Structure 1
Amino acid sequence: MSQPTTPSPAPDGRRSRWTEHRRARKEELVDAAVAAVRLVGPEFSVDDVARSAGVSKTVIYRYFSDKDELIDAVLDRISQAILLPRLLGELAVDRADDRDRLRAVIAAFVALIEDEPALYRFAYAQTGRAGRADLVAATEHAVATALGGLIQERLARVGRPTEGAMTWAYGVVGMVQLASHWWSVARTVPAAELVDQLTALADGGLGTLLPPRS
């Protein structure tokens, strides 16, 4: 004879509400930190975030163990909400012309430097932090992986070796990133001309390696 089953305990509604409240509150504080970076620059302080949020530093430290954890949250916001949607969104658009696709992605990156100079400087300033997330490297990897997949698909479609796909993708992404970073300080040409120059270089290189689109 089977034993009666014991009903599962009801979900703890109060715990769920508290978890959601804490998550939402952390998001609000990250909003305030992003605003502080835009206002003060890469060297923002926790005091700047507290002023932006209209709270005390004590409140900040209820949700973040230290400034490094807050920086990680800001980097994640820049990556997931601002940077990657722009770049991967342009790569995902199926344009008939390779040069147009390259130009759109390069233009999106240069536009980010123009539109969000403080956030860009902040993200780049965190490159190579010991033991912490590296937004620049992670973004390069995400974009190069997406571009490499497109190159690999094109090569495979015509029966050509695909081993060079990721090498070429990283080469293009690294070239654009480093040249754009140099330009962000040097400002030797207008943004539109920089996009044209980088597009010509990237397209000229890939154009000799990739089969024509059918």
Structure 2
Amino acid sequence: MTGTEARQIEARLKQLGVAKELFEEALDWAAAQARMCTAFDAPAMAGITFWSRTNRYLAEYLTDPEKQNPVWKYTSRDSILRVVHPSGSHAITAVSGSEGVGDLDRDVRSKNPKGRVMAQLVENNVKYERGGQSVLSFRDEVEFGGELDSMPLWFLLYERNDDGNLSAELSLPVKMEGKYVNEWSERLPLFTRNDPGLDIALLDAPDDGNDPEFEVRPKSN
């Protein structure tokens, strides 16, 4: 990445109300938390911990009035952990990515399948891509109502590859193939660095791709 490209990404992140250092700190803290898991934990615990703690760090930092002014809002509605910009212009969630995170010369997709709610949010992002974004007002959490579903949702994607490199990017998804997000209107590489002490299993986020199915039958008298 050239110096000009780095400055452009830094400027774009500033427009979004965040900084690369915040995401580095969030992922470092999440990794430290996930390393505390042992073989006596549930098999998926390290991955869930990494995913949850990354989102928790973002939420705790951005909603703290001593660190952020104005403060962001937080919601876990539909089990999608999101921080919401004070203006309501966009939200951010952290998820694991696969294939080419942080490398604009390669394609990237979400690592785990996503469910119906996430698919609708990604589809809504197309309106933002086409300039249909509007200024959104907040009510308290009863909570954001339909406003939460209509605001652009950015992904903080993270990945550790077989070479021991941990990579991250902030990207705006606009399309899914099946249950995987694989098309983006913007990708902002954050960093790629070697982290040999991090177990690759830590980056397996929980699978939210299996929505419950219900059979609706006429009520019998």
Q: Could you tell me the TM-score, scaled by structure 1's length?
A: 0.27
More helix by share: 1
Structure showing greater Rg: 1
More strand by share: 2
